[in-house]
Amino acid sequence: MLRTHTNGELRLENAGQTVTLVGWVQRTRDKGGIFWIDLRDRYGITQLTLEEGQEAETLREAARELGREFVIQVTGKVAERYSKNDKMPTGDIEIRVESLEVLNPAKLPPFLIEDDTDGGDDLRMKYRYLDLRRTPVRQNLMLRHRMAQAVRRYLDAQQFIEVETPVLIKSTPEGARDFVVPSRMNPGEFYALPQSPQTFKQLLMVSGFDRYFQIVKCFRDEDLRADRQPEFTQIDCEMAFVEQEDILNTFEGLVQYLFKEVKGLEIGKLPRMEYADAMRYYGNDKPDTRFEMKFVELNDVVKGQGFPVFDNAELVVGINAMSCAAYTRKQLDELTEFVKRPQLGATGLVYARVEAGGQVKSSVDKFYSQEELQKWKAAFNANEGDLLLILAGPADKTRKALSELRLEMGQRLGLRDKDTFSALWVVNFPLLEYIEEEGRYFAMHHPFTSPKPEDVALLDNPETIGQARANAYDMVINGVEVGGGSIRIHDRAVQAQMFSLLGFSPEEAQAQFGFLLDAFEYGAPPHGGIAFGFDRLCSLFGGADSIRDFIAFPKNNSGRDVMIDSPSEISGAQLKELSIKTDVVGK
């Protein structure tokens, strides 16, 4: 080893020892009498000193030549510091340098390698290997490592077996867009990268593995949003001979274990919320339950008083922003603008303040008497000082807009603290959802999800198909969907019916998923599973909004790796070898 200790290790007890350290020069200071070097590695920072008169002048000269990020090796004596630094674990000691060797000099880095860097996103990504030297980024990856280890410990103890499934698989029409890989040996044919190992894990259940997991890369060629990466990692799990209840309990246990192990927090039992209630009370299938502010439906309270906006609306619904009655005109205008943005598309915002003495003053007073407004107050259970915010319009759109307004108010009121965690299960999702533009039903979770047995009959009637519920569930933490899964279909006939509902002809179903349908005829056990978004879970544990800093080498918003400059064109020869016609692809 080139060192005797790391830079995070030495304490007062080590005083007097001669040690050898290696690392990167974080910074140097020359105060004439004393020369300081902060030496950094992944374990910490240790202060090195060269004092005038004590060391050979040649040594001090060598030290003066050091630049940021030089890689050096020093030997010296551990000594108690004159002025201690209680902010760093090694702050009681310093090393009086006796010899110094430059192992490799460094060019001046393009941005500061400090906790607060002056490097913008693009620069940091281009030089990601330097960005990774920064403590906050490194800590994120260490958190990720600890999470992965804890996941393995918990699942291993529960008899889960980690199995790797293939990465070169087959493109399927359902779900997101596939990334495809041309096959040289099979001209004109393509593999697809897995969007998830879904069918393979189900086949492992048919094989009798009983409990499977994998921390696995998945690929989806979707337009990227802030929190999406084209390749991401899932904790993918499947169990046989279980019902929904068993899955919920097992994986609630996993998440409780992670919070306990990694954050030292007891999150307790996870409440369960029906999908229908999540939509009704939060306008969202992943409600942020760190705060209440539930929706209050007002159709019965406000209609019939001659206010056309309410009278003509499918749904009138509001929230009580408690203690916000003192909001100024300007603040209310901001909120109105917020809900009128094209993404939300509300036509306006009606508000009512509960004033001192309990009188209600609304923005639509000319249609509503005080007596009527008191009914509003009662519906919201509002008190003096509260502000009622009300939207009206088509039900789905209005709920969606109010959900955003609720989150915005939660933010403004400081109710979305990143160190507070509120986890729950959302259960009983609809099985199918009708997509207007496509003119057909799509599986809300995926085509392998089993309907609730009591709802199977609904599938036979076109009128009621949309009402059938699935044995599907999501885990939601702080308004983020961290995981989702379902009990699967394990019967060939039911799976075939499902494909037919989704618009597959029997031939298409056989061509795409024949392997699974066939497998179901060889003794498929009842089974179900779940997958967690691992990157997202890590960012949530790390208190960050973006998953990017929890991935060692992420891609940017256009799906590029700007460090290795990928994707990139390939040579004509390569294209030819792959039987891809060059006049179609590339230049």
Q: Which of 484, 495, 509, 549 binds ligand ASP (CB under 6 A)?
A: 484
Q: Which of 49, 140, 165, 196 binds ligand ASP (CB under 6 A)?
A: 196
Measure Cα distances from 527 to 242, 255, 523 in Å: 6, 21, 12
530 touches ligand ASP by CB under 6 A: yes
Binding site feature residues for L-aspartate: 174, 220, 445, 488
Q: What is the smallest separation between the CB atom of 144 and ligand ASP, expressed in angstroms?
A: 19
CA distance 314 to 299: 8
Supply φ then ψ for residue 309, to 5 degrees: -60, -45
Nearer to ligand ASP among residue 320 and residue 495 (C-beta)? 495
Q: What is the smallest separation between the CB atom of 237 and ligand ASP, expressed in angstroms?
A: 7
Nearer to ligand ASP among residue 135 and residue 207 (C-beta)? 207
Q: Which of 23, 529, 542, 554 binds ligand ASP (CB under 6 A)?
A: 529
Q: Are 270 and 252 in contact (CB under 8 A)?
A: yes
Nearer to ligand ASP among residue 448 and residue 550 (C-beta)? 448
Q: Which two tokens stand for residue 378?
A: 């009662």
Where does 389-523 have alpha helices with state H?
395-412, 492-501, 506-519
Q: Which two tokens stand for residue 314?
A: 């499918």
Q: What is the smallest separation between the CB atom of 547 and ligand ASP, expressed in angstroms?
A: 16
Q: What is the smallest separation between the CB atom of 499 and ligand ASP, expressed in angstroms?
A: 17
80: closest CA among 96, 100, 68?
A: 96
CA distance 450 to 213: 20
> Identity (one letter) of the amino acid at 321?
A
Q: What is the smallest separation between the CB atom of 207 and ligand ASP, expressed in angstroms?
A: 17
Q: What is the smallest separation between the CB atom of 217 and ligand ASP, expressed in angstroms?
A: 12
Q: What is the smallest separation between the CB atom of 286 and ligand ASP, expressed in angstroms?
A: 14
Nearer to ligand ASP among residue 405 and residue 470 (C-beta)? 470
* Contact range with ligand ASP by CB under 6 A, out of 86-94, 111-119, 395-403, 478-486: 478-486
531 touches ligand ASP by CB under 6 A: yes
SS3 content of the chain, % helix, strand, coil (to 5): 30, 25, 45
Q: Which of 485, 513, 540, 554 binds ligand ASP (CB under 6 A)?
A: 485
Nearer to ligand ASP among residue 192 and residue 389 (C-beta)? 192
CA distance 343 to 239: 40
Nearer to ligand ASP among residue 148 and residue 415 (C-beta)? 148
Q: What is the smallest separation between the CB atom of 196 and ligand ASP, expressed in angstroms?
A: 3
β-bridge pairing 480-487 and 527-533: antiparallel
3-state secondary structure (DSSP) of residue 245: helix
* Contact range with ligand ASP by CB under 6 A, out of 87-95, 225-233, 509-517, 529-537: 529-537
Nearer to ligand ASP among residue 47 and residue 486 (C-beta)? 486
Q: Which two tokens stand for residue 476?
A: 């939601």
* Contact range with ligand ASP by CB under 6 A, out of 63-71, 251-259, 494-502, 528-536: 528-536
Q: How many residues does the chain have?
A: 587
Binding site feature residues: 174, 220-222, 229, 445, 481, 488, 533-536
H or E element that contains 58: helix 57-64
Nearer to ligand ASP among residue 175 and residue 348 (C-beta)? 175
Nearer to ligand ASP among residue 133 and residue 446 (C-beta)? 446
* Contact range with ligand ASP by CB under 6 A, out of 74-82, 244-252, 349-357, 527-535: 527-535
Q: Are 289 and 422 in contact (CB under 8 A)?
A: yes
β-bridge pairing 231-240 and 71-80: unpaired
199 touches ligand ASP by CB under 6 A: no
CA distance 467 to 455: 8
CA distance 500 to 508: 10
Q: Are 47 and 89 in contact (CB under 8 A)?
A: no
Q: Which of 49, 320, 450, 486 binds ligand ASP (CB under 6 A)?
A: 486
* Contact range with ligand ASP by CB under 6 A, out of 330-338, 380-388, 398-406, 481-489: 481-489
Nearer to ligand ASP among residue 430 and residue 485 (C-beta)? 485
Q: What is the smallest separation between the CB atom of 446 and ligand ASP, expressed in angstroms?
A: 6
- In terms of phi and psi (left: phi > 0; alpha: psi -120 to 50; beta: otherwise), the region of 43 is alpha
240 touches ligand ASP by CB under 6 A: no
Long-range contacts of 409-416 (CB under 8 A, 24+ apart): 409/293, 409/319, 409/321, 409/324, 409/335, 410/288, 410/290, 410/291, 410/293, 413/291, 413/321, 413/322, 413/324, 415/290, 415/291, 415/293, 416/288, 416/290, 416/291, 416/478, 416/479
Q: What is the smallest separation between the CB atom of 557 and ligand ASP, expressed in angstroms?
A: 22
3-state secondary structure (DSSP) of residue 555: coil
Q: What is the smallest separation between the CB atom of 153 and ligand ASP, expressed in angstroms?
A: 21
* Contact range with ligand ASP by CB under 6 A, out of 135-143, 151-159, 480-488, 550-558: 480-488
Nearer to ligand ASP among residue 214 and residue 539 (C-beta)? 214
531: closest CA among 474, 479, 450?
A: 474
Q: Which of 49, 198, 229, 403 binds ligand ASP (CB under 6 A)?
A: 198
CB count, 10 Å around CB of 127? 18
Q: What is the smallest separation between the CB atom of 198 and ligand ASP, expressed in angstroms?
A: 4
3-state secondary structure (DSSP) of residue 22: strand
* Contact range with ligand ASP by CB under 6 A, out of 223-231, 363-371, 392-400, 525-533: 525-533
- Give the interface size with ligand ASP as a residue count (CB under 6 A): 8
**Residues of this chain that bind ligand ASP (CB under 6 A):** 196, 198, 484-486, 529-531
